[in-house]
Amino acid sequence: MKYFEEYSNVFNPTILNAGNTIDDIGYYHISSSISIASGSSDFTTPIESNTEILYGPMPTIESGIGSTNLGVSANIDSMEQLTATSRSLSGAPYLQTATFNASGSIGGTFNKLYQNGTHGSMSGNSGQRSASVSNGRISTSNVFYDETFTDLRSSGTIPHINDKIKLNSGLSWSAGNSYGTSANQSVSISGTGFGGSRSDSESRSVHTSGTFGQPASSGSLHYYGRSQTYDGSSNTSENFSGEGRRLKLTDSLLSFGEDSWDNSYGEYNIMGPKDLQVRPNRLVKPGGNNGYWLPNPNSDSNFKYYVRKFSTSGTKTSMSINCGGNSLTNWDDIENNNKVSVLIMFESSSTNVYSNPRFYDPTKTLSNFIYSINANGDGTNPFGSDIDLYGNTGGSGSGGSWTLPIRNSDGMFLNATYNEILVLVRYQGDPTPLTSISVNFN
């Protein structure tokens, strides 16, 4: 057996010239034969192998084809949005799940030569998404056509020089529990010609402005997978993951009424002219640089607001507030732009106790009573009744973090009877968004 192994490669000829690969394209006839003699016996009848090939190194063939090859073209011909589910936040829609279908075509993969392998492919989750050739014949059914897409080529047949490929792709998509600023999932198609270097591809977003029944001016669609009523905040924290704890900016707040925010699905009809917009994990000005989808509901005023309540239990002597993402400016500074200010109203300082409700500015650490603010003051009082502005005497802080002593003499109580506070946020212009609000009671 050892002797036969030594001749095992005699029928695997390589085209060489003095040990070097031949660089010329040509038609070659290669023959091999072998006879075996043992001892004094005659040689056996020769066993022959003849091979006829058209041969040329790939770089030489590629260079020789040159501009005579018409080239490969790959195109996405249609995109269809099938189904979608969504949720809203501040009246802006967010995609949660979607299904799409796309179709595309590829031409030029057999012109003028072709090789085995994949000639076309398309991304996605389902459908006829690839087209291949094996041993010079079509090996994928229902995707190869004549150049007019009239006649379907059968598997096992030899493709024609102008044949084309038709593919289709289905895409099922889900946001899960994540948030992102672009739900423009894409579908791509690619075609490959002879040698692999002649190729073409196209990619197209499955969502474009104006799809899913939205106005063409809407722009890129964000996605947010959390349920409509989800809110990951707590009695002492706000992370802007939902609006289950948000309150409407109405005069009922002055008496600590519960005018809850509408947390059901809605588009465009939720926010009032003075409201800030909640995006996942941030509080933004609608229509501003960080806004999404919604225009400014009222461009006549440069001030927008957000309000919610926080609660504790037991008697407290101090509290702190931290607003992540920005430094706080005092409430009566309304001259400059792009700033964030905060007022705090205690349940004990509402109209249930005082004729004018008392609001406290945590940044005014050297002030007690400051002044009364008339109703409907642009930027100073968003309510239809007068309010009294107080400071934070004895308090401290900087940036977005401030500590307030609970001054009973000024109407501040945190105990078994009064255990809630209201935090009113004001944006002046279009500042860097807040990403959280947290309070701590001691």
DSSP secondary structure, 177-245, as one string: T-EES----EEEEEEE-TTTTSEEEEEEES--TTGGG--GGG-SPPEE-S-TT----BTTEE-SS--TT
Q: How large is the average pLDDT for residues 305-314?
A: 97
51-109: per-residue pLDDT in tens? Answer: 777 776 766 666 666 544 458 999 999 988 888 899 999 999 999 998 989 999 999 99
Cα dist from 121 to 46, 152, 166, 382, whole Å? 48, 18, 10, 59
Q: How large is the average pLDDT for residues 11-38?
A: 69
Q: How large is the average pLDDT for residues 213-240?
A: 86
Range in 17-21, 248-252, 323-327, 397-401 with the lowest mean pLDDT: 17-21
pTM as predicted: 0.77
What's residue 208's pLDDT? 66
Written as one letter, the residue type at 24 is D
Q: Is a pLDDT exceeding 90 seen at residue 221? A: no
Q: Take residue 252 and report the two structure tokens written for it.
A: 């009922």
170-200: per-residue pLDDT in tens? Answer: 988 899 999 998 776 789 999 998 866 678 9
- How many C-beta neighbours within 10 Å does residue 29 have? 8
User: pLDDT band for position 48 (50/70/90)?
Assistant: confident
